[in-house]
Amino acid sequence: MQLILEKRAQASHFMHFASPLLAISLTVLLGGVIFSAMGQPPLTALYIYFVDPLTSLWAIEEVLVKAAPLVLIGVGLSITFRANVWNIGAEGQLTAGAILGAIIPIFFAQWQSPLALITMLALGMLGGAMLAAIPALLKTRFGVNEILTSLMLVYVAQLLLDWIIRGPWKDPHGYNFPKSVAFDGWHLIPTYGDGRVHMGLIIALLAALILYWLMTRTIKGFEVRVIGSAPRAGAFAGFSQTKMVWFCFLLSGALAGLAGIIEVAGPIGQLQPHISPNYGFTAIIVAFLGRLNPIGVIFAGLLLAISYIGGEGVQIELGISDKTAQVFQGMLLFFILMCDTLIHYRVRLLKPQGGAL
Amino acid sequence: MSAYEAIILTVITASTPLLLAAIGELVVERSGVLNLGIEGMMVMGAVSGFAIAQVTGSAWLGVLMAMFAGIAMSLLFAFMTQTLVANQVATGLSITLLGLGLSGLIGSSFVGMPGLKLGYLNIPGLSDLPVVGKLVFGQDPLVYISIALTIGVAYVLKRTRIGLIIRAVGQNHDSAHALGYPVIKVRYACIAFGGMTSGLAGAYLSLVYTPQWIENMTAGRGWIALALVVFSTWLPGRLAAGAYLFGGVWILGLYAQGMGLGIPSQLLSSLPYVATILALIVISTNRRLSVINTPASLGQGFVPDR
Amino acid sequence: MSISNPSKSATSVLLEVHALTKKFGDFAANKGVNLVLEAGKIHALLGENGAGKSTLVKMIYGALQPTSGRIVWQGKELHIDNPAAARELGIGMVFQHFSLFEALTVAENISLALPAQLRNKDLNHRIASLSKDYGLPLNPDALVADLSVGERQRIEIVRCLLQEPRLLIMDEPTAVLTPQEAEALFATLNRLTNEGCAVLYISHRLEEVKQLCHDATILRHGEVVAQLDPQQETAATLAQHMVGTSVHQISRQSADNIGDVLLELQNLNQYSDTPFGVDLLGINLQVRSGEIVSIAGIAGNGQGELFAAISGETVNADRDAVTIQTMPCGQLGINARRQLQSAFVPEERNGHAAVGEFSLTENILLSHHAVRDGEVAVQNGWSGINRAELARINQHVSDTYDVRSASVDAEAGSLSGGNLQKFVVGRELDRKPKVLVINQPTWGVDAGAAALIRQVLIDLSRQGSAILVISQDLDEIFELSDRIAVISRGQLSAAYGASDMTREEIGLLMSGAHEKANLIQDQTGGI
């Protein structure tokens, strides 16, 4: 028996939407198998993992808090990947945004006004875009592979954060803990009521809607899709590959930087060595699960946020390593790529040759 | 042992995992496949090697298991990209993310345990020779394996029929298919070889370099190995030179930290990553060399008509 | 070397194919095909694009497995599992799109196609002596990337000859040769048949089939529609068998309204930025209102580069290198040139002229999004897309140019080659361009579509547009052109009146009679 692919005449619209659902089902199924292999009751564990995060107000709030950066970074990446540009250093751009944005609360603590917050957000975007500009420059100027350079810069940005927070930016009254001063007043993102959900969620949703409009209604969005699908057709249409690389890196870098400053000015409230549980990498999964479509990214961001909370849930209630979240996320990306084959191909089992003639 | 000798020895230990991972990826890319999952295969090799060594008490069984784990991960990649023609970049990323997660899960119970270490070669007489004794006859076995693999790969690619077929498949899969070569099978085999050496590289980290299990202990070495392959312009000799150069940079950072020069340790730790970027820029300036050696089908999926 | 086949009788049947059928899904590419090949004879396999010729020969060569039917080789029924098995039997094949590896040497390329017993130390020596014996000189250590198209075909032929083939399959071998090179090939084939080898010869050049072949089988829609003696037929009757109806004749009045120069190339130099590309050197050409000028040439002599340089896909350093409608535009991009009422049709339909995964409507936008003269006048990347307008243009193109698709807004990639080409040409002509540059206008399309496209090109020129056609097909060139120039190794000859040119003269120019050595010198000195 042999598995063979048959190309469909046209891409299947049904599979386009069914594929993520199929991937989620497969992940849940295999997740159950893994739980039982770890000696856990699979159904209970799956319930704790996927359903519990939606049953209490506290947990739903946490899901939304985690979804905000995932959606924000994910929409940027969805467009970048669409254009066949591979920025996989969003985690570093997030860090750079957090560092640059934190200049205001750390060095201008007295400047308390809404404008201060807006400046922080703008600086965050600038920081992310600046770091993302490096792979863009190297790609367009020297033809250096952007995957490797953007990834290498993640380590550099994280080490930079580590250094400033243990050195020059350390809170002088912080008992030598590697932390900056705590942000306060207009240096924090406003939250809804007393809860943890903050303005960042609105910003993320807004970004998704704007980019959805861009992709479906404007020539710019058309340009992204043409260059991603057929670069030579892009040249024929007069679109510049070089400008597209810059556009994608600056856009996705700025959004990742924005997510970074929102994290430190929101749920965390100060600069510290670890500011993100790999949001920048998980957002890659979000982008693919969301069909590289900004609206799809919103739903995918929510699902991946659940996977974080669910991971914490099984750790607390069943005592399993919180690494389960990362495993589930990896499986999800794996299955979504697998199911996407069905959009363009029919899969058939071929019986061994012999009776054929 | 002189300080000079000690530095060379540590450079070799820092370089060997890079060389192991990169030599496999070189073969994979020569066959026209881009596997970005090295980091994931490597870290799975590290954790499973460590785990089996702990459980059985045999470091060699650990090495064997690490190779097996690397191959298993790589076959997942091969199934996705060769059989299902999924996007190679995205699939490679998913292998890395999956590997980092799964290794953390498997390794959670081994964190902090003292580990087993693979012994050094010791040939009475030879290993005690002055100057060259330790260097030539006193390394751990995986160092010799990595060098043998490099020479072997160079020989096979350049001199043998199998190597010619691998290069042909990577150059132009349509022509290779038209001539009747099994493109997908060749690629499966190359990917599995890459998985094996990545697993070995992982085992080197957890059974030789720092004989214990630390989460994410590969620390980006898989990615540096990928950069090394580009840097080598797909030539094994240059690859080995590059790997030792990078090992040197890695150790330079560590030594400079130990000497207390007042340079922030983070700056020194970032050296290998910065050096990788610089190396990629340098090699990109020689366009002709890169273009001619680049496997022309690199990263493209292949679906035969039937 | 000699192919020893002493038992060369009048009817020594080598290969029989009985009721061979091949299905891809529900589509039958071959239906019950019968074919008999005899030793010592050249058998032509004729048919339009998509008639199933390639499918049939791939089954004989073992590259595809039949769904049903029998293959009998020298009286024995057998399965040919793969090309290696076919080669063991003595079946060799020269592919239309060569199965060569650019970064490997000639010897490595040949070795890849040889059975184990023939690969040994003195392979290089045998390649050299055999190629010399047959008048096909080759250097075994040369990199394929550095060879011309004709030399590459020699590799394919020598690689077959080394196996002492009983049957040689040739797929459109003369498509890439100059007329002189083609004559040399015919001599080789005649020598092979005299030595007892059978040849299965695929071609769409009916004149050469008449000249060369002993028998012919004609396929249409996957079925055999005729088996005949080509010597007894005319090119017209052969064509009629292939197409099924009589072929539409193109009407062409003489060009009597030649006007101003609308497209001018002046000392156009463009250096390739990839090692395998072709540099364009000192190209001069004028195309006037009301005329069609064609550029002939063997593939890979700079046609793609020239198209990109004229269209603005690659921008030149010299603004005067390209002038459209009196406006020097060498430094302008493709959209700025489109705004000078010019239009461009690249060679590759799917992936260059159109995006296969996009709907036809979206493909309209590809070349209409930034043109002032078009109806969808969009200057700014951030402004909206007028979908209703695009759909209207698409409907109009599809009606006017007879574009047949499953739905009016189908994915471009789902259209047949001929229909997609009609769409692409129609999309550009819908803008009523004053200057049209078209690369390989009817490459790989069916006869009906080819006739339609050639007719609309002639009609457009007679309405006062300047048209530049780049083509490898000499029949097409003679059918369309008022003047003809020839490109070889990035240099363009002068343009001569079409009625003054013969195939032989074009052939000489194709092999570089007009090239200036000093330019080549400059080129190598410049690196």
Range of the domain at B228: 3-293
| pTM above threshold 0.95 | no
Are the beta carbons of C83 and B306 separated by less than 8 Å?
no
d(CA C91, CA C84): 9
Segment 280-309 of chain C within 8 Å of chain A by CB: 308
- Asked if B225 has any chain A CB less than 8 Å from its own CB, the reply is no
The answer to whether residue C315 sits within a structural domain is: yes
The answer to whether residue C117 sits within a structural domain is: yes
What is the domain-level CATH number for residue B282? 1.10.3470
Segment 127-166 of chain A within 8 Å of chain B by CB: 134, 138, 142-145, 147-149, 151-153, 155-156, 159-160, 162-163
Q: At C2, is the pLDDT very low, low, confident or very high (cuts 50, 70, 90)?
A: very low
* CB-defined contacts A:B, below 8 A: 135
Residue type at A185 in one-letter notation = G
User: For residue A10, what pLDDT is reported?
Assistant: 76
The answer to whether residue B298 sits within a structural domain is: no
Neighbours of C186 (CB within 10 A): 16
The answer to whether residue C42 sits within a structural domain is: yes
CA dihedral (C165, C171, C176, C177) positive or negative: positive
Q: At A210, is the pLDDT very low, low, confident or very high (cuts 50, 70, 90)?
A: very high
Which of C27, C95, C101, C276 has the most B C-beta neighbours within 10 Å, making it the best mutation to test the interface with B? C101
C156 and C295 share a domain? no
Q: Domain end: C194, C215, C243, which one? A: C243
The answer to whether residue C8 sits within a structural domain is: no
User: For residue A17, what pLDDT is reported?
Assistant: 84
**Which of C366, C382, C384 is facing A233, going by the closest CB pair?**
C366
Q: How far is CA C96 from the centre of its chain?
A: 9
The answer to whether residue C357 sits within a structural domain is: yes
Q: Could you report the predicted ipTM of this complex, rounded to two decimals?
A: 0.89
What is the torsion angle, in degrees rounded to the nearest 10, for the CA atoms of residue A279, residue A282, residue A286 and residue A292?
Answer: 100
Query: Which one is predicted more confidently, C128 or B258?
Result: C128
Q: At C273, is the pLDDT very low, low, confident or very high (cuts 50, 70, 90)?
A: confident
C214 and C287 share a domain? no
Helix/strand/coil percent split, chain C, to 5:
35, 25, 40
Are the beta carbons of A326 and B287 separated by less than 8 Å?
no
Closest approach of C70 to chain A, Cα-based (Å): 7
Percent of chain C with pLDDT over 70: 92
Closest approach of A212 to chain B, Cα-based (Å): 22
Query: Which one is predicted more confidently, A221 or C174?
Result: A221
The answer to whether residue B304 sits within a structural domain is: no
d(CA C159, CA C130): 10
Q: How far is CA B159 from CA A170, B153, B165, C113, C180, in A?
A: 59, 10, 11, 17, 39
C228 and C322 share a domain? no
Segment A243-278, tens digit of pLDDT = 999 999 999 999 999 999 999 999 999 999 999 999
Number of domains into which chain B is organized: 1
Q: Which residue is associated with the tokens 């990577």?
A: B170
* CB-defined contacts A:C, below 8 A: 91
C239 and C266 share a domain? no
Within C148-205, strands assigned E span 167-171, 198-202
Number of domains into which chain C is organized: 2
Strand partners, A5: A347
Q: How far is CA A37 from the centre of its chain?
A: 30
C374 and C513 share a domain? yes
C178 and C286 share a domain? no
Lowest mean pLDDT segment, chosen from B126-140, B237-251, C193-207, C435-449: B126-140
**By CB neighbour count within 10 A (0-12 exposed, 13-18 middle, 19+ buried), where does A3 fall?**
exposed
Q: Which of C481, C498, C404 is nearest to C448 (CA)?
A: C404
C305 and C442 share a domain? yes
**Which of A152, A162, A285 is facing B276, going by the closest CB pair?**
A152
Average pLDDT in the B51-79 region? Answer: 95
Segment A303-315, tens digit of pLDDT = 999 999 999 998 9
Q: At A352, is the pLDDT very low, low, confident or very high (cuts 50, 70, 90)?
A: low
The answer to whether residue C453 sits within a structural domain is: yes
The answer to whether residue C490 sits within a structural domain is: yes
d(CA C368, CA C388): 14
Q: Is the pLDDT of residue A9 over 80?
A: no
Query: Which one is predicted more confidently, C1 or C154?
Result: C154
Are the beta carbons of C101 and B180 separated by less than 8 Å?
no
Average pLDDT in the B84-103 region? Answer: 93
C301 and C333 share a domain? yes
Q: Which of C180, C132, C124, C121 is nearest to C154 (CA)?
A: C132
The answer to whether residue B301 sits within a structural domain is: no
The answer to whether residue B306 sits within a structural domain is: no
**Exposure of A356 in the CB half-sphere (CA atoms within 13 A):** 18
The answer to whether residue C250 sits within a structural domain is: no
Segment B181-201, tens digit of pLDDT = 999 999 999 999 999 999 999
Which of B175, B235, B291, B300 has the most C C-beta neighbours within 10 Å, making it the best mutation to test the interface with C? B175
Q: Are C294 and C521 in contact (CB under 8 A)?
A: no
**Exposure of B53 in the CB half-sphere (CA atoms within 13 A):** 30
What DSSP character marks residue C359?
A: B
C345 and C487 share a domain? yes
Q: Is the pLDDT of residue A95 over 80?
A: yes
- Asked if C426 has any chain A CB less than 8 Å from its own CB, the reply is no
Q: Which of B191, B139, B249, B247 is nearest to B33 (CA)?
A: B191
| List of domains in chain A | 2-350 (1.10.3470)
C180 and C266 share a domain? no
Q: Which positions in chain C touch A356 (Cβ < 8 Å)?
A: 65-68
Q: Which of B236, B222, B225 is nearest to B293 (CA)?
A: B236
d(CA A231, CA A225): 10
Segment 21-80 of chain A within 8 Å of chain B by CB: none
Query: Which one is predicted more confidently, C115 or B1?
Result: C115
Strand partners, C105: C143
Joined together, the tokens standing for residue C291 give 């005329």
Q: Is the pLDDT of residue C55 over 60?
A: yes
Range of the domain at C297: 261-526
Are the beta carbons of A338 and B36 separated by less than 8 Å?
no
Q: At C517, is the pLDDT very low, low, confident or very high (cuts 50, 70, 90)?
A: low
C266 and C219 share a domain? no
What is the domain-level CATH number for residue C235? 3.40.50.300
**Which of B269, B270, B280 is facing A145, going by the closest CB pair?**
B280
C208 and C293 share a domain? no
